[in-house]
Amino acid sequence: MRAFARQMTERMKAVAAAGAVAAFWLAVWVFAAALVAQPLILPGPGAVVVALLRLVCDAGTWAILVGSGARILGGLALATVCGGVLAGVSVWSRAFARLVAPALSFVKATPVACVVVLLLIWLGSARVSIAAVFLMALPGVYFSLVEGLAQADKPLEQMFHLHGVRGWRLFCAHTWREVLPFVLSCARAVIGMSWKAGVAAELIGMATGTVGERIYQAKLLIDTADLLAWTVLVVAASWACERVLVWLLRASGPVAWRSAVRAHGHGLRGRTGAASDGAAAELALAVGDRAPWAPALDGLVLHVPAGGRTCVMGASGVGKSTLLALAAGECAPCSMVFQDVRLVEDASALDNVLVCADARVDASSAAALLRLLVPGIDVHARVAELSGGQRRRVEIARALLCPGGAVILDEPFTGLDIAARDACAEVVLDLLDGRMLLLATHDAADARALDISDIITL
């Protein structure tokens, strides 16, 4: 209750501050209009309000505003689609990026007026608005998406790939959530710019029945109050579009994540099916041929039979994680606990488990396993709020419920005391369900806890 009261107080203070700022600039406007004393040059607020009310009460005004808005948003939508496609190809192909980036940089630096005049010559006034918005918005969309895709969390993406989360589910669970901050930043800049470019194109092209035409007429008649009233309408429409679209974009992140979680296991036949397909039933890997940079792995041939258990032991830095990464690539989809933490920090512990889980796993069974591994845990708590040991056990729960015929554990008990380690090891053995187990550790007690006798020392 106190938090709510504090939040309301802060909002009231923000509203009061905004009102004070608006009153200040209104006073400046009144003073400037009185000082100029020429309504044709600078009309006062009263004259502009009268002109604005006249426009608002005219149905034709709304038809013109909606028509211009549709063309502007159409150009923006086209730029978004093309920018997304170009950004995706650019991230995949550096040669393509080097080819496209200079052209878009040139377009970005070109004045709007020059672009509009060229488009008038090529396309005529009817299509100039949508084309101008498309060209002005495309570079912003492209460069924002390229930056977002380039900075996406690659280790987390690898985790999703290994656990069989691919296609549209990978996009919803990872890609979109990673690029969304860049998209939001781009939207705040591009939407307003699109309205300015669109109206400028209509004004220069003098397209009939558009906002630009009405602004041009106001200029010819030297009706400054009407000109300012149309300016207010355009600014209001741009502001409303930005608020609505930014809200929709913000909401799309949680919606995409929930879609990926609800469809867990989609496209996979489950644990038994994966094993029967030979995806991870047996592992035979000439490791030395794959990792010439790791001397400790030179000449090593890793063989783990179906349902077998093998432990790789050695000091830090000898190549245990490299060995497991190579094995995981051969076994994918598989279940894996990585040496570093790979969780979606702002999602719940339960959702982190479910998003990679077998299709036969429901929320209640996943929650039960989490409570078994982490006594007292709130399964709906954000992962970022959990301790290091709790986060580690969330990853173990995720690995145990994933599809595939192999469970790969890289230092899985880091941060756990002896009692917690033994309890987790017991759960792992209970839920192994005939799958192959590959462990990397520097502590022989971990191998004993998991009942592993086949040990490879690096």
Contact 404, 332 (CB under 8 A): yes
Contact 140, 88 (CB under 8 A): no
Residues 362 and 451 in one domain: yes
Residues 186 and 98 in one domain: yes
| CATH number of the domain to which 105 belongs | 1.10.3720.10
- Last-in-domain residue among 262, 283, 306: 262
Cβ within 8 Å of residue 99, ≥6 positions away: none
Residues 30 and 54 in one domain: no
Phi, psi of 406 (to 5 degrees): -140, 145
Contact 107, 146 (CB under 8 A): no
Contact 49, 228 (CB under 8 A): no
- Structural tokens at position 233: 């309408």
Residues 33 and 52 in one domain: no
State the burial class of residue 222 (Cβ atoms within 10 Å of its Cβ: 0-12, 13-18, 19+). Answer: exposed
State the burial class of residue 382 (Cβ atoms within 10 Å of its Cβ: 0-12, 13-18, 19+). Answer: middle
Amino acid at 347: A
- Distance CA(215)–CA(206), nearest Å, equals 10
Taken in order 391, 397, 399, 401, the sign of the CA dihedral is negative
Range of the domain at 23: 1-37
Residues 417 and 308 in one domain: yes
Residues 53 and 148 in one domain: yes
- Structural tokens at position 138: 């495309």
Residues 392 and 422 in one domain: yes
- Distance CA(180)–CA(72), nearest Å, equals 22
Q: Tens digit of pLDDT for each residue in 75-84?
A: 999 999 999 9
- Distance CA(336)–CA(23), nearest Å, equals 60
Residues 45 and 30 in one domain: no
Pick from 342, 346, 440: which is nearest to 392 by CA? 342
Crossing angle of the two packed helices 176-205 and 59-92, in degrees rounded to 10: 130
pLDDT of residue 273: 37
Residues 285 and 172 in one domain: no
Taken in order 418, 424, 426, 428, the sign of the CA dihedral is negative
Phi, psi of 316 (to 5 degrees): -65, 135
- Last-in-domain residue among 262, 294, 329: 262
Looking at the 3D structure of the chain, how many domains does it have?
3
- Last-in-domain residue among 262, 281, 306: 262
pLDDT of residue 276: 35
Gyration radius from the chain CA atoms? 30
Residues 297 and 427 in one domain: yes
- Distance CA(141)–CA(249), nearest Å, equals 14
Alpha-helical (H) ranges within 93-223 are 94-109, 112-123, 128-150, 154-162, 167-170, 176-205, 211-220
- Distance CA(429)–CA(433), nearest Å, equals 8
- Structural tokens at position 251: 């909401």
Per-residue pLDDT of the chain (458 residues; tens, 9 = 90+): 566 667 777 778 777 887 788 888 878 877 887 887 787 788 888 888 888 999 999 899 999 999 999 999 999 999 999 999 999 999 999 999 999 999 999 998 888 888 888 888 888 888 899 999 999 999 999 999 999 999 999 999 999 999 989 899 999 999 999 999 999 999 999 999 999 999 999 988 888 889 988 988 888 888 889 989 999 999 999 999 999 999 999 999 999 999 999 998 776 544 333 333 434 457 777 666 666 666 767 777 788 888 889 998 888 877 788 888 888 887 778 889 999 999 999 999 999 999 999 888 999 999 999 999 999 999 999 999 999 999 999 999 999 999 888 999 999 998 899 999 999 999 999 999 889 999 999 889 999 999 988 888 87
Residue 46, SS3 per DSSP: helix
Residues 357 and 402 in one domain: yes
Residues 253 and 123 in one domain: yes
| Residue 393: other Cβ atoms inside 10 A | 29
- Distance CA(87)–CA(179), nearest Å, equals 11
Strand order, beta sheet including 335-337: 335-337, 406-410, 436-441, 309-313, 454-457
| CATH number of the domain to which 304 belongs | 3.40.50.300
